[in-house]
Structure 1
Amino acid sequence: MGQGETEKIAGELIRQAVMLLMDRNEDITLSSVLNILADFQMRAFNTGQLNACIQAIADVSAAKSGSLREESALKDKVAGKCSSCRSSDNVTTLH
Protein backbone atom coordinates (compact mmCIF):
# COMPACT_ATOMS: atom_id res chain seq x y z
CA MET A 1 0.00 0.00 0.00
CA GLY A 2 1.42 3.38 -1.02
CA GLN A 3 1.67 6.51 1.11
CA GLY A 4 -1.23 8.13 -0.72
CA GLU A 5 -3.49 5.19 -0.01
CA THR A 6 -2.40 5.15 3.65
CA GLU A 7 -3.22 8.85 3.97
CA LYS A 8 -6.61 8.30 2.35
CA ILE A 9 -7.45 5.48 4.76
CA ALA A 10 -6.14 7.55 7.70
CA GLY A 11 -8.55 10.34 6.75
CA GLU A 12 -11.37 7.82 6.59
CA LEU A 13 -10.46 6.49 10.04
CA ILE A 14 -10.59 10.02 11.46
CA ARG A 15 -14.00 10.50 9.84
CA GLN A 16 -15.21 7.21 11.31
CA ALA A 17 -13.97 8.20 14.77
CA VAL A 18 -15.87 11.50 14.58
CA MET A 19 -19.02 9.74 13.35
CA LEU A 20 -18.77 7.23 16.19
CA LEU A 21 -18.53 10.05 18.74
CA MET A 22 -21.52 11.74 17.13
CA ASP A 23 -23.52 8.51 17.27
CA ARG A 24 -22.69 8.22 20.96
CA ASN A 25 -23.64 11.88 21.56
CA GLU A 26 -20.18 12.45 23.05
CA ASP A 27 -18.12 15.62 22.83
CA ILE A 28 -15.96 15.68 19.74
CA THR A 29 -12.52 16.82 20.80
CA LEU A 30 -9.08 16.02 19.48
CA SER A 31 -8.46 13.95 22.61
CA SER A 32 -11.65 11.94 22.18
CA VAL A 33 -10.82 11.31 18.52
CA LEU A 34 -7.35 10.13 19.58
CA ASN A 35 -8.92 7.71 22.04
CA ILE A 36 -11.11 6.19 19.32
CA LEU A 37 -8.15 5.96 16.93
CA ALA A 38 -6.09 4.19 19.60
CA ASP A 39 -8.91 1.67 19.90
CA PHE A 40 -8.94 1.25 16.11
CA GLN A 41 -5.18 0.69 16.21
CA MET A 42 -5.50 -2.09 18.78
CA ARG A 43 -8.05 -3.80 16.53
CA ALA A 44 -6.10 -3.45 13.26
CA PHE A 45 -5.81 -6.84 11.61
CA ASN A 46 -3.20 -6.14 8.94
CA THR A 47 -0.18 -3.95 8.33
CA GLY A 48 -2.07 -1.58 6.03
CA GLN A 49 -4.70 -0.83 8.67
CA LEU A 50 -2.04 -0.48 11.35
CA ASN A 51 -0.07 2.00 9.24
CA ALA A 52 -3.23 3.99 8.50
CA CYS A 53 -4.07 4.10 12.22
CA ILE A 54 -0.55 5.29 13.03
CA GLN A 55 -0.86 7.99 10.35
CA ALA A 56 -4.28 9.09 11.62
CA ILE A 57 -3.01 9.29 15.19
CA ALA A 58 0.01 11.30 14.04
CA ASP A 59 -2.23 13.70 12.09
CA VAL A 60 -4.61 14.29 15.01
CA SER A 61 -1.71 14.58 17.48
CA ALA A 62 -0.09 17.21 15.26
CA ALA A 63 -3.36 19.12 15.12
CA LYS A 64 -3.64 18.91 18.88
CA SER A 65 -0.07 20.17 19.35
CA GLY A 66 -0.73 23.03 16.95
CA SER A 67 -3.90 23.89 18.81
CA LEU A 68 -2.06 23.96 22.13
CA ARG A 69 0.67 26.21 20.68
CA GLU A 70 -1.94 28.62 19.30
CA GLU A 71 -3.76 28.66 22.62
CA SER A 72 -0.51 29.42 24.45
CA ALA A 73 0.39 32.19 22.00
CA LEU A 74 -3.05 33.74 22.38
CA LYS A 75 -2.74 33.66 26.16
CA ASP A 76 0.65 35.37 25.88
CA LYS A 77 -0.80 38.06 23.64
CA VAL A 78 -3.73 38.67 25.94
CA ALA A 79 -1.32 38.91 28.87
CA GLY A 80 0.78 41.42 26.90
CA LYS A 81 3.70 39.08 26.31
CA CYS A 82 3.80 38.82 22.54
CA SER A 83 6.88 36.77 21.65
CA SER A 84 7.63 38.93 18.59
CA CYS A 85 7.86 42.10 20.67
CA ARG A 86 11.00 43.16 22.53
CA SER A 87 9.18 44.19 25.66
CA SER A 88 5.72 43.44 26.93
CA ASP A 89 5.44 47.14 27.86
CA ASN A 90 5.44 48.03 24.15
CA VAL A 91 2.44 45.89 23.30
CA THR A 92 -0.56 48.11 22.64
CA THR A 93 -2.56 45.98 20.23
CA LEU A 94 -2.90 42.35 19.43
CA HIS A 95 -1.20 41.48 16.16
Structure 2
Amino acid sequence: MEKAVKLIPACAEDKDLISRLEADAGTNVNLCYQCGKCSAGCPAAFAMDYPPRQIIRLLQLGMVKPALQAESIWICATCETCSTRCPRGVDIASLMDALRREALR
Protein backbone atom coordinates (compact mmCIF):
# COMPACT_ATOMS: atom_id res chain seq x y z
CA MET A 1 0.00 0.00 0.00
CA GLU A 2 1.26 3.44 -0.89
CA LYS A 3 1.87 6.00 1.81
CA ALA A 4 -0.55 8.90 2.03
CA VAL A 5 0.00 12.31 3.52
CA LYS A 6 -2.46 12.71 6.36
CA LEU A 7 -3.94 16.18 6.62
CA ILE A 8 -5.57 16.94 9.95
CA PRO A 9 -9.23 17.97 9.65
CA ALA A 10 -10.48 21.07 11.41
CA CYS A 11 -12.17 19.19 14.25
CA ALA A 12 -12.60 15.69 15.63
CA GLU A 13 -16.19 15.53 14.40
CA ASP A 14 -15.10 16.21 10.81
CA LYS A 15 -12.29 13.69 11.16
CA ASP A 16 -14.76 11.03 12.26
CA LEU A 17 -17.10 11.87 9.40
CA ILE A 18 -14.29 11.69 6.85
CA SER A 19 -13.22 8.33 8.26
CA ARG A 20 -16.81 7.10 8.01
CA LEU A 21 -17.08 8.34 4.41
CA GLU A 22 -13.80 6.64 3.51
CA ALA A 23 -14.92 3.39 5.12
CA ASP A 24 -18.28 3.57 3.37
CA ALA A 25 -16.62 4.25 0.00
CA GLY A 26 -13.73 1.86 0.58
CA THR A 27 -11.15 4.45 -0.39
CA ASN A 28 -8.62 6.88 1.11
CA VAL A 29 -8.91 10.51 0.05
CA ASN A 30 -5.35 11.22 1.13
CA LEU A 31 -3.96 9.03 -1.63
CA CYS A 32 -5.01 11.70 -4.12
CA TYR A 33 -2.21 13.98 -5.26
CA GLN A 34 -4.48 16.27 -7.29
CA CYS A 35 -3.36 15.31 -10.80
CA GLY A 36 -6.78 16.26 -12.18
CA LYS A 37 -7.31 13.19 -14.37
CA CYS A 38 -10.65 12.54 -12.68
CA SER A 39 -12.00 15.99 -13.47
CA ALA A 40 -10.54 15.98 -16.97
CA GLY A 41 -12.39 12.78 -17.82
CA CYS A 42 -15.64 13.56 -16.04
CA PRO A 43 -18.49 14.04 -18.53
CA ALA A 44 -20.45 16.10 -15.99
CA ALA A 45 -17.62 18.30 -14.65
CA PHE A 46 -18.74 21.26 -16.77
CA ALA A 47 -21.96 21.45 -14.75
CA MET A 48 -20.43 20.94 -11.30
CA ASP A 49 -19.72 23.65 -8.77
CA TYR A 50 -16.77 21.54 -7.56
CA PRO A 51 -15.32 19.03 -10.04
CA PRO A 52 -14.28 15.64 -8.61
CA ARG A 53 -10.71 16.77 -7.90
CA GLN A 54 -11.97 19.66 -5.80
CA ILE A 55 -14.42 17.48 -3.86
CA ILE A 56 -11.49 15.26 -2.91
CA ARG A 57 -9.44 18.31 -1.95
CA LEU A 58 -12.22 19.64 0.27
CA LEU A 59 -12.24 16.33 2.13
CA GLN A 60 -8.44 16.28 2.37
CA LEU A 61 -8.61 19.69 4.02
CA GLY A 62 -11.33 18.58 6.43
CA MET A 63 -13.95 20.77 4.78
CA VAL A 64 -16.78 18.25 4.94
CA LYS A 65 -19.67 20.70 5.08
CA PRO A 66 -18.93 22.35 1.70
CA ALA A 67 -18.50 18.90 0.15
CA LEU A 68 -21.85 17.75 1.52
CA GLN A 69 -23.54 20.94 0.33
CA ALA A 70 -22.03 20.80 -3.16
CA GLU A 71 -24.33 20.38 -6.13
CA SER A 72 -21.61 18.20 -7.63
CA ILE A 73 -22.50 15.17 -5.54
CA TRP A 74 -25.98 15.21 -7.09
CA ILE A 75 -24.79 15.95 -10.63
CA CYS A 76 -22.34 13.03 -10.59
CA ALA A 77 -23.65 10.24 -12.82
CA THR A 78 -21.51 7.63 -11.05
CA CYS A 79 -20.19 6.51 -14.43
CA GLU A 80 -16.88 5.64 -12.73
CA THR A 81 -14.74 7.39 -15.34
CA CYS A 82 -13.02 9.30 -12.54
CA SER A 83 -12.27 6.16 -10.55
CA THR A 84 -10.95 4.39 -13.63
CA ARG A 85 -8.66 7.28 -14.55
CA CYS A 86 -7.22 7.75 -11.06
CA PRO A 87 -3.56 6.68 -11.02
CA ARG A 88 -3.68 6.30 -7.23
CA GLY A 89 -6.78 4.10 -7.14
CA VAL A 90 -9.04 6.55 -5.32
CA ASP A 91 -12.61 5.37 -5.89
CA ILE A 92 -14.14 8.78 -6.41
CA ALA A 93 -17.45 7.46 -7.72
CA SER A 94 -17.99 5.46 -4.53
CA LEU A 95 -17.02 8.49 -2.51
CA MET A 96 -19.66 10.57 -4.32
CA ASP A 97 -22.20 7.87 -3.43
CA ALA A 98 -21.10 7.99 0.20
CA LEU A 99 -21.39 11.79 0.22
CA ARG A 100 -24.92 11.58 -1.18
CA ARG A 101 -25.93 9.08 1.49
CA GLU A 102 -24.42 11.26 4.21
CA ALA A 103 -26.11 14.39 2.84
CA LEU A 104 -29.48 12.68 3.15
CA ARG A 105 -29.00 11.87 6.85
Q: Choose between structure 1 and 2: higher helix proportion.
A: 1
TM-score for both structures, normalised by structure 2: 0.30
Greater C-alpha radius of gyration = 1
TM-score for both structures, normalised by structure 1: 0.32
